[in-house]
Structure 1
């Protein structure tokens, strides 16, 4: 049958008068219809149209030619002509239908209904039910439509339907436990986990309809795709369920919204699957997030959350912190650092949503001790905060004000410090004064140990005895309250016999007597000073 017989000037005028939106939707419908042709007919038509499958090209190459015949197309026979004639009739019907609707909302709704008919072969009563929602609200109730499709076996059947609905419904009763579900569908728990992973792994395939929804429909749920960061939480879930009278959970709704926004946003917060068929997700997300693709291409939001979760889960024996901006840099996917301020702000919001973790005004991320604090740790914290040697009486007064009954007595603090002397705390003589070891390394005017220890350390530097006044000058630097007489008396009563006392107040070390014997070669008046 030749096209000339079907030629209609009014139809051509309609095609030429189509708006941009009408053209776009009609082309999508034509492309879907085209794929239903036989392989031979499909390739013949594609070749003839130079791979340009649009209503405009159909009009220019076929409809506008009065003497056109499908027999003129290469590799087209009798069966193909019959097929192409039917295809043309469908295009004409679609053109008539699309040309009637002018508003963008109506156009997308008609496209949506056509897709339901074509893809799901939906029954008239279900089709009427879906249509009635639009007539009442003038909006596509997406989740209500999905519920009808799920309930009436258009997407899943039999056991798959039961398993999927069990995990997508917002239901928390005991019947949802995997053990009960396994008994209900007569499958092992392992098999259920496997099927569940497959169902959610191919979510966008099973719910192909979502790819044919006008993306502007997402604004109906108060979601603005112009934002770089969108949170999907239980508040939004409750709002959607109430608005459309459905009962879906966070997992299902977030998956739906992620498919709707897949061209602009990435889905952050995929579900952690347990058991043999785990998917490598290490953290059980509290909420789900849509983040603009431009940022997810350069930064790993999942990894930073998993790292924080791991740190918080571990035993933290001592509080520690990081500069947040430097911490964020370690999760960039490349060495090129861009959009650091935007990414940092998004990370702060996510960490607060997931862990109630607040980044302070100094931009510090703090990981606080989560174990029971021992008594030595309280002392170490106090000494670190004060950054100076402290007497046990002074420490006891501070603890008594801040944490009453932490230490029962001064003796308790003293004994605790004595036990820690090997590790982090050092002692200053017999005055019950203590400080952190690291303080000695940083402050040149602080030295631990007794006066005898300091004198011994000083004398080890020399090969001859030193006068008491020289020793006093060195000791006063670290022990300002002592004097020469006190030092001499202290050394005189040393039972370890480390020191040798010479005439004229010279002091040496017993371990260096071999060196001191060399003084016998000195002049008499000098030698006399060093003799006992």
Structure 2
């Protein structure tokens, strides 16, 4: 006889009836058995002295109830459960066992064994008339009431299931018990209980706000990427909305995230057909939820879950057979700043546990992500299949096509990287190509030393606007060690040519000689030096080479008798005598240099230039300006000062202005005739080019005088 029948007959009050129901007592026989074991009902919820006395009186009234018949009846019903009934009851048993305390759970599993099945409960517990809970091994005093309620729930649910053959009603019964035993929710719509979809049930429970505390549920929905939102809110905005501090909102978010898997674990006991409901085959080695699949699921069930939250739901349901690949927090929690020392995952993926034991997929993505973010000077590639072998977890494993296919999909989803036609993974250059690299490419293609003007011409034609002038390009040549230069001719080559070709060596004649003498322990005869230099500078000659060394002002070279030459910083055998000064050309006297200056001025009607002119003119320019500086500093004798001042006065500011006007006129005529600017490397054009270069520099620095500025603008217009 059931408690409901007793109540309907009016034999107990509503208070006593509710106390029995809250304790899971469905049969009078269960009530009598509880009384025989405990002697009172004071532990029942809301059971005072009056209700306790009422229930004791009820037990005494019905003490003749045949408990043996009840046990036999339950045993019979368990043995005759249908397949679907048995599955539902076993799922219910498993669910309730997981909700026990650790000690009680271990005691039950130790006694019944795994997997937990209702037929084992019947044979070991329900059919044993001498069974007492306190006789279970390793059980504590506090576990006895918990296990009593646990066994009563299983009996009650088993009887209800055995009395119902309708599959839909059984699903409703099971879902109702699962949800109500997990969450504090009284009313659940029948369509929800009838559902065989974890998506529908989860959506209902989230909207009912039963997972966490009231405000925590709202913060959970605002801060975790559960639903698709038009715009994500900052923690500050959410904190203002709920009158919390930003830190408190962050703490609640972290707490909700940490507890989320446990809150969703009940879903594992819901009957769900993934193939029919979501068109997902859960027998595959891996599952990737695409945007299209997520949209179809949301459209079918009227939900708005994000793709990654759907994947997370499926991961909870399939956690016994699948592992998650990827960082869950990256996908479910919006961060203000991305991590700089690891990959920031866009999605999470599911792989079979057996598959996950074969290859370290997360390390694979981390490695590729690191490579794409580092500075890549030159594009390089790997054969993808060979590259994957680095991440295998087992030795001697043949990489299957299914591994390659899934890893390739991971590349596309996470890093937007595609393999090439030969199944290579390409790591493209990430640095900007510099001017020196363009120069190296040109020289590599030409295969011979080339002037800077020719290099500029080729680059300007291939890459217009890459650099503004050959002068700018010359500066780039000096910023790399892969280039070599040849003397002062603005001719450049590749350093690798020095190793590939025995007749090529960069640098000046002096640097070539210095390198040669550096390798020798003794001074070398001038003829040997000349012979060595001519290998690399065949257009030079003995006189030019030796004079070049003698005119060196750095003191690098030391000249010995009998035409031997060495380096001043090296110690040689005393048998080598230093040459007398008379054997080395004397420096010109002040008077000789001044005579050369006056002759130059008389011949050219101008002062010497510093560059773009013959070497002798450059030397004269330097000497003249040293004298001007010494004169200004009072270091010249009166007679010498008067002579220098006379030359300087001859080319006063007004004279220079006149000369400037003439030069502009000459430049204008040249441009009109040749349709171009003068060249620094063409004979007869050097001085005019130098004039234009200096005027352009003054114009760019806003230091040009007004008259010359007008003339310069006219020249610029002529060039347009």
Q: 1:257 aligns with which of 310, 314, 324?
A: 314
Task: Report how far residue 196 of structure 1 moved.
Answer: 0.9
Q: 2:350 aligns with which of 290, 294, 315?
A: 290
2:465 is matched with: 405
Q: Which runs of 5+ in 2 are unaligned?
A: 1-64, 136-144, 578-582, 585-720
Q: CA separation in 1, counterparts of 2:258 and 2:105?
A: 32
The one-character-per-residue Cα deviations of 1:342-371 (angstroms, maximum 9, x if unpaired) are 66654543343333334544735425335x
Q: CA separation in 2, counterparts of 1:269 and 1:35?
A: 27
Q: CA separation in 1, counterparts of 2:295 and 2:473?
A: 56
Q: CA separation in 2, counterparts of 1:334 and 1:181?
A: 44
The one-character-per-residue Cα deviations of 1:233-275 (angstroms, maximum 9, x if unpaired) are 5433322221211122234223212212323232413224578
Contact 1:251 1:271 in 2 (8 A): no
Contact 1:70 1:81 in 2 (8 A): no
Q: CA separation in 2, counterparts of 1:281 and 1:128?
A: 50
Give 3-state SS (helix, strand or coil) of 2:541's partner.
Answer: helix
The one-character-per-residue Cα deviations of 1:445-479 (angstroms, maximum 9, x if unpaired) are 643213443344334526364574x66765565x3
Task: Report how far residue 187 of structure 1 moved.
Answer: 1.3
Contact 2:524 2:564 in 1 (8 A): yes
Q: CA separation in 1, counterparts of 2:70 and 2:475?
A: 106
Aligned residue runs from structure 1 range 356-367, under 5 A: 356-360=416-420, 361=422, 363-367=424-428
Larger Rg: 2
Task: Report how far residue 127 of structure 1 moved.
Answer: 3.0
1:396 is matched with: 456
Contact 1:268 1:288 in 2 (8 A): yes
- Select between 511-520 and 215-224 the one with higher mean Cα deviation: 511-520
1:54 is matched with: 117
TM-score normalized with structure 1 length: 0.72
The 1:417/1:5 distance shift into structure 2, 3 A limit, reads: same
1:116 is matched with: 179
Count of residue pairs brought into register by the alignment? 494
Q: 1:230 aligns with which of 282, 287, 291?
A: 287
Q: CA separation in 1, counterparts of 2:202 and 2:110?
A: 38
Q: 2:215 aligns with which of 159, 178, 194?
A: 159
Aligned residue runs from structure 1 range 98-137, under 5 A: 101=167, 111-120=174-183, 122-124=185-187, 126-131=188-193, 134=195
Q: 2:199 aligns with which of 143, 158, 164?
A: 143
2:160 is matched with: 93
Give 3-state SS (helix, strand or coil) of 2:189's partner.
Answer: helix
Task: Report how far residue 165 of structure 1 moved.
Answer: 1.7
Q: CA separation in 1, counterparts of 2:414 and 2:86?
A: 45
Contact 1:150 1:156 in 2 (8 A): no
Give 3-state SS (helix, strand or coil) of 2:345's partner.
Answer: coil
Q: CA separation in 2, counterparts of 1:141 and 1:325?
A: 39
Aligned residue runs from structure 1 range 245-284, under 5 A: 245-263=302-320, 264-272=322-330, 282-284=342-344
Give 3-state SS (helix, strand or coil) of 2:507's partner.
Answer: coil
Q: CA separation in 2, counterparts of 1:279 and 1:501?
A: 68
Aligned-residue CA RMSD (Å): 5.0
TM-score normalized with structure 2 length: 0.56
Aligned residue runs from structure 1 range 57-456, under 5 A: 57-60=120-123, 70-71=129-130, 73=132, 75=134, 87-97=154-164, 101=167, 111-120=174-183, 122-124=185-187, 126-131=188-193, 134=195, 140-166=196-222, 167=224, 168-173=226-231, 176-214=233-271, 216-217=273-274, 220-263=277-320, 264-272=322-330, 282-294=342-354, 296-297=356-357, 300-306=360-366, 309=369, 316=375, 318-319=377-378, 321=380, 323=382, 332=391, 338=397, 346-360=406-420, 361=422, 363-370=424-431, 374-380=434-440, 389-418=449-478, 420=479, 423-437=481-495, 440=498, 446-456=504-514
Q: CA separation in 1, counterparts of 2:410 and 2:271?
A: 29
Q: CA separation in 1, counterparts of 2:545 and 2:112?
A: 109
The one-character-per-residue Cα deviations of 1:40-66 (angstroms, maximum 9, x if unpaired) are 999998887578842333454577xxx
- 2:541 counterpart of 1:486: yes
Task: Report how far residue 146 of structure 1 moved.
Answer: 1.4
Give 3-state SS (helix, strand or coil) of 1:416's partner.
Answer: helix
The 1:321/1:467 distance shift into structure 2, 3 A limit, reads: same
Task: Report how far residue 293 of structure 1 moved.
Answer: 3.4
